Structure 1
Amino acid sequence: MSTNMKEIEFQSASYDQWQEEAVKALKGKPFESLFTKTIENITLEPLYTKESLIEKLGKQLEKQVSTIRTLSQSPTFEIAQQIVGDTEESFFANLEESIERGNEVITIYSPVAFEWSETAIAKLAAILTENSFKITVQSTDDAVLAVFDKIEASKKEIVNGYIIAPEAVDVAGFPNVHTFAANTIPYHNNGANAVQELAIALAQASYLAQSVEDFKAFEQKFFVQFAVDTQFFAEVAKIRAFKVLWKAFASAFGNEASAVPVVVETSARSFSKYDVYVNLLRSGNEAFSAAIGGADVITVHSHDCLTQTTEQSVRIARNVSLVTKEESHVTKVLDPAGGSYFIESLTADYVKAAWAMFLEIELAGGLKEYDINSKIEEVYNTRIKQVETRKHTLIGTNIYANPVDEIPTIENKQFVDVKRIALPFENLRASFEQANLKVAILTFGQLKNYKPRADFVQGFFATAGIVADQTEGFQSIDEAKAWLAAADYDYVVVAATDDDTKQLIPALLEGKKQNLVLDAAGKYKEEAEAWTANGLNGFIFAGQNIVEKLNGVVTTVKGAQQ
């Protein structure tokens, strides 16, 4: 047998053979347990093959791949770093430094922290004449828009950029300034899923296109803006799906589609104020998925953008874009995800579902008439439940949390209204900090036996910012009873093996103080009714809603103390 890896050939296996082996490995669990429902209600399969993809899409697969590649402006993207500054002087100093260090699209979120003076507007006009830009305003009367009145008529044709506003801004004489924006970020920030975002983008485009007689003139000024979350493959598929949808959309208006810019920001929806450097990992993941998906402009928000950015965090955010663009080699290939069995299948699923929802919105009379907000609210509530039960992990927040982590009290107004999924845990910490409970873990038996359960409970508490005192494993029930009787704690959790706990809990309940709240780690369905009737508060176990449980503990302790 050859030892050279280049000469080794592995026998191929069919899907049926793989399924047979998978069923064996499941040891009695149904094969269907390997299928996963996404928050878009799309079923993810455990394995995708060339045969299954062709069977699903047929000739449509080649059309899908061709469309995505035809409607991609280029394999690379432009770096669009947001400029921050508390004063006019610091703003322009940061702007100039960002250009020197690789920024390609000057990104401004208005209102800024200072008043736009005539001098500042004139200075910005000169800069925007030489550099691409992306400006987000809250109304068509925003002061920063005066910059377009300061640009010389002879230079208007070379000005290139994007303006995001609630209503399209009329900037006459600037053919390369995109003012028709399908901006899905507000909906994303409220919890929308990928299919909803795609349908909303089309609905917004439809509303804007109907205000212009010439579709091609509209298309030339149009762009779409997405926020990209941490669901890596889903976000790749979302951007790719939009290009397929755009072809169908243009066709519905009787036109051949042209490539329209896809402008992207990293999402703050999954950001947390705790363990903020994990936000850096999230934004890096998001930026990379946007690049693979085919975004044309990418803004990476700083890992501390929820509170207050620093010179270092701004530099790191810029470097995320630079590394993605210059060192990952992802921009060397047009549509790097093309041909992936999984991604192509997911892209097609998004296209089908989003187009169906778009038609529903149109039949209802547009977004204003369609009840999109209540549908997004349902999705948001599902997201929250998944985080609170750890079905969706937020490292540093709902798992592997640092209980002594502290956060700045400063709030960045730009992101204050984002319905972040970490909020329930941030509020939980605030609640426990205010309650100031004394918490302990009573362990029993040998260390190797109780440690896994005790560690789980410590991790459970850590999400609320609690470092519980922990006993050394008691060797007798009498010792445990004596300790509990003398313990000066508000809340105690018993961590032991199932067999030990079944012996321990009835004994502990006999002498438990009235104002002490006692829980057991684990699930005990047969004993639960009798134990709770005798004074046990409840249980802590995997899959439980952490926020509901611990908020309930605070309420119960307060009641016991009155």
Structure 2
Amino acid sequence: MSTNMKEIEFQTASYEQWEEQAIKALKGKPFESLFTKTIEGVTLEPLYTQEMLVEKLGDQLEKQVATIRALSATNGVQIAQQITGDSPDQFFSNLDESLSRGNNIITIDSRLPFTVDGQFTAKLSDYLTEYSFKLMVENENDPLLKVFNGIEENKRDSVEGFIISKGAVNLKGYSKVRTLGANTIPYHNDGANAVQELALALALAAKQLKTADSYEAFASKFFVNFAIDTQFFAEIAKLRAFKVLWKAFAAGVGVQAIAVPIVAETSVRSFSKVDVYVNLLRAGNEAFAGAIGGADVLTVHPHDVLTKPTATSTRIAQNALLVINEESHVLNVLDPAGGSYFIESLTADYVKAAWALFLEIEEAGGIEAYKETISTQIEEVYKQRITEVETRKHSLIGTNIYANPVDELPIEENPQFSDVKRLAIPFENLRKEFAAANAKIAMLTFGELKNFKPRADFVAGFFNTAGISPEQSGALDTIDAAKAWLAQADADYVCIVATDDDTKELVPALLADKPSHIVLDAAGKFKEEADAWLSKGLNGFIFAGQNIIEKLRAVTASMKEVQR
């Protein structure tokens, strides 16, 4: 009998029914194991429903959505590809190429590898009268700012752009150049979470508003600058939350909110110098989150930006945003994330937490008075991030998991990002340490391949993060064969890889005749046997959930010890 698919209706399952099925699937694990606490302290639920969202926000839901849509400064995202070059000639050649391929906003970091002189700024001034720009400078005495001296006075009112600076920049005669920025990126690069970034954006705004003639004058010069990390939904919620917070901020000073631009760039906090093409995927993910979240201006960093971008990597980065703009059609929708039960709920959580932190900062006397406290809080978050990466609670593809051991670590360093507290740095340093040690690492694999392979793959992956591919003994099938292999092994370190039962037989036998120059570990957790084995000469264990950095540094220390 034929069935008309159009007539089929699926029954709607309640949350309780879904929960019942989820508990069955968990096979004894608690239902609470499906809940995830983020680094911001927000608990993510495994399922969000319309009823849950309405119950949580009530009338505030409609106000939240309306605010986000009303406070959009633009109707899309403009491409702000950063221009680089080893010389002025190469810089302007790259600039022309970028503009011809869809770049909307000329983006320049003043830390250029050549001297910024009068000839350079005079030529650049012609471009700034035609195109919007984003300039990143040290302070108002930065040589790059002399570019504005070369612009004719009758053209200055039409010049548009953003200036990001550590210190205040007083640029007279340029009414459309925004110089008051809440730059949260330095905090982001130190490890700040989304809630801290949002609160700091408001605190920086509050500080600058105090010296302004009026809110309207301030808002006409103000913008916020965010970095977009790899946490896709969280970053969408962060940008949306800022607009809700901005309305509350304006209400707090007794005025109606004026939309201000959200300037953003892809984060390099999760970038790595090894397996660099994964950075390309990270940047694409971050760019998409920025576009959906409502960024008005977006810079996508090339995958090799930590060392030295090439013409190809720069073009790929720019094309990532062009694809989003031209092919995805996502920006044809106003607030594309609006109405998502999950994102609306997360947006509200960020608003509540960030507003509370902002009030705490203000009650303490403002951002300057709170500087030491917020630095301590951010440092705690950074340490948590590092611990999660080192224990693989947070995956950094190509770095702490699925690492390619043959990747070479580049020496070159882009000074623009040398101070970023990147999550991959401990693993990059670990590769340097193992390369310098020139140690021979091996695995003693025992039993049938199907039985030891999962554990062998884990141990190999463990050492791959340090740029090491351990040698394998092959499938040894007797204890005598294992002892013979260990006795002649050309290795400084050996890890025993077998099933738990086989390991319990192997370790005592191997320790009895272990060569003195070999450091011996066992793969797995053996709580009951650990003390006895360690007392007889076993170095330690390798197991899931272990701090990779601490363990592998302990391995190098042990190898140095036995070699003395």
Under TM normalisation by the shorter chain, which class is it?
Answer: over 0.9
Root-mean-square deviation over aligned CA pairs: 1.0
Counterparts of 1:90 and 1:338, CA distance in 2: 43
Match of residue 258 from structure 1: 258
Q: How many residues are aligned here?
A: 562
Equivalent position amino acid for 1:59 in 2:
D
Decide which moves more: 150-159 or 279-288: 150-159
Counterparts of 1:353 and 1:531, CA distance in 2: 49
Q: Is residue 129–residue 155 contact of structure 1 (8 Å, CA) maintained in 2? A: yes
Q: Is residue 168–residue 181 contact of structure 1 (8 Å, CA) maintained in 2? A: no
CA deviations on 1:17-68 (whole Å, 9 max, x unpaired) are 1111111111111111111100001100111000000000000000000000
Shift of the alpha carbon at 1:3?
A: 4.5
Match of residue 61 from structure 2: 61
Shift of the alpha carbon at 1:273?
A: 0.2
Shift of the alpha carbon at 1:487?
A: 1.5
SS of the residue 1:130 aligns to:
coil
Equivalent position amino acid for 2:129 in 1:
T
Shift of the alpha carbon at 1:404?
A: 0.8
Counterparts of 2:473 and 2:558, CA distance in 1: 23
Match of residue 471 from structure 1: 473
Within 5 Å, give how 1:242-321 maps onto structure 2.
242-321=242-321
Match of residue 215 from structure 1: 215
Equivalent position amino acid for 2:34 in 1:
L
SS of the residue 2:259 aligns to:
coil
Q: Is residue 473–residue 485 contact of structure 2 (8 Å, CA) maintained in 1? A: no
Match of residue 24 from structure 1: 24
Match of residue 155 from structure 1: 155
Counterparts of 1:239 and 1:112, CA distance in 2: 30
Match of residue 90 from structure 1: 90
Counterparts of 1:4 and 1:194, CA distance in 2: 48
Match of residue 100 from structure 2: 100
Match of residue 387 from structure 1: 389
Within 5 Å, give how 1:487-502 maps onto structure 2.
487-502=489-504
SS of the residue 2:416 aligns to:
coil
Counterparts of 2:464 and 2:265, CA distance in 1: 31
Matched, 1:133 2:96: no
Counterparts of 2:90 and 2:317, CA distance in 1: 18
Q: Is residue 135–residue 162 contact of structure 2 (8 Å, CA) maintained in 1? A: yes
Shift of the alpha carbon at 1:167?
A: 2.2
Q: Is residue 229–residue 270 contact of structure 2 (8 Å, CA) maintained in 1? A: yes
TM-score where L is the length of structure 1: 0.99
Shift of the alpha carbon at 1:2?
A: 6.0
Q: Is residue 48–residue 341 contact of structure 2 (8 Å, CA) maintained in 1? A: yes
Identity of aligned residues (%): 66
Counterparts of 1:158 and 1:407, CA distance in 2: 46
CA deviations on 1:522-555 (whole Å, 9 max, x unpaired) are 1111111111111111111111111100000000
Match of residue 175 from structure 2: 175
Matched, 1:322 2:311: no
Counterparts of 1:519 and 1:206, CA distance in 2: 56
SS of the residue 2:81 aligns to:
coil
Instruction: Provide closer, same or farther for how the CA distance between residues 147 and 33 of structure 1 changes in structure 2, counting only shifts above 3 A.
Output: same
Match of residue 235 from structure 1: 235
Counterparts of 2:2 and 2:152, CA distance in 1: 72
Q: Is residue 244–residue 351 contact of structure 1 (8 Å, CA) maintained in 2? A: yes
TM-score where L is the length of structure 2: 0.98
Show structure 1 runs of 5+ residues with no match.
none
SS of the residue 1:410 aligns to:
coil
CA deviations on 1:215-264 (whole Å, 9 max, x unpaired) are 11100110000000000000000000000000000111111001100000
1:378 to 356, 376, 380: 380
Counterparts of 1:412 and 1:453, CA distance in 2: 39
Match of residue 346 from structure 1: 346
SS of the residue 2:443 aligns to:
strand
Counterparts of 2:143 and 2:4, CA distance in 1: 68
Show structure 2 runs of 5+ residues with no match.
none
User: Structure 1 segments of 4 or more deviating over 3 A?
Assistant: 1-7
Shift of the alpha carbon at 1:5?
A: 4.2
Equivalent position amino acid for 1:134 in 2:
K
SS of the residue 1:414 aligns to:
helix
SS of the residue 1:123 aligns to:
helix
